[in-house]
């Protein structure tokens, strides 16, 4: 498996909010983890995935093994805004990922407008620097189901809202980062 491009080697302060976008297997998570590790401090991983089947359990186990034991894991498949509001200002946090969180919220028939508003407010007010990972789902074919189209539209709107408030936005393609907004 190829390694994602390394972020800048300088240690130090992360921007208040970084959004890392990309397609499936583009290197988003690995790049985001490297940003957090380069910042120093006690890293926090806010997980939105739920291990609903064997394949997802294996995927989660691979991610955990890659990160190592130094990460504190907070599971927030639905209550993501609450998890972000509860962050300690001392350590950087990685949200992986907004796409699974939105999918979970849709399947749970939550009020997406309210939940997305709460998430945006939590990200804006976070005491800790946050790196959020999200899939860019609007580059492929138009889904053939109403639910698929509703998800694609909701994800696109959420990505736009997070990008608007983010200090840095990075698009990953083939493991390579392209900075769309903020410092390189």
Q: Which residues are catalytic, by number? A: 63
* Other residues' Cβ atoms within 10 Å of the Cβ of residue 26: 21
Give the span between the Cα atoms of 111 and 142, in whole angstroms: 24
* Residue whose entry in the numeric block shows the structure tokens 């769309």: 180
* Other residues' Cβ atoms within 10 Å of the Cβ of residue 158: 21
Torsion of CA 160, 165, 167, 168, to 10 degrees: -10
């Amino acid at each position: 498996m190829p390694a994602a491009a390394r972020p800048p080697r300088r240690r130090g302060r992360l921007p208040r909010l970084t959004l890392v976008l990309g397609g499936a297997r583009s290197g988003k998570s690995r790049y985001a983890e490297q940003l957090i590790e380069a910042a120093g401090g006690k890293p926090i991983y806010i997980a939105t995935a739920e291990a609903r089947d064997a394949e997802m359990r294996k995927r989660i186990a691979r991610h955990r093994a890659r990160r190592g034991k130094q990460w504190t894991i907070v599971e927030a498949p639905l209550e993501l805004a609450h998890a972000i509001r509860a962050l300690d200002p001392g350590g950087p946090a990685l949200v992986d990922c907004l796409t699974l969180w939105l999918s979970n919220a849709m399947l749970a028939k939550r009020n997406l407008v309210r939940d997305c508003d709460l998430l945006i407010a939590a990200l804006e007010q976070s005491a800790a620097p946050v790196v959020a990972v999200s899939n860019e789902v609007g580059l492929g074919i138009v889904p053939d189901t109403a639910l698929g189209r509703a998800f694609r539209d909701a994800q696109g709107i959420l990505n736009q809202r997070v990008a608007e408030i983010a200090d840095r936005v990075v698009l990953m393609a083939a493991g390579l980062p392209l900075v769309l907004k903020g410092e390189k």
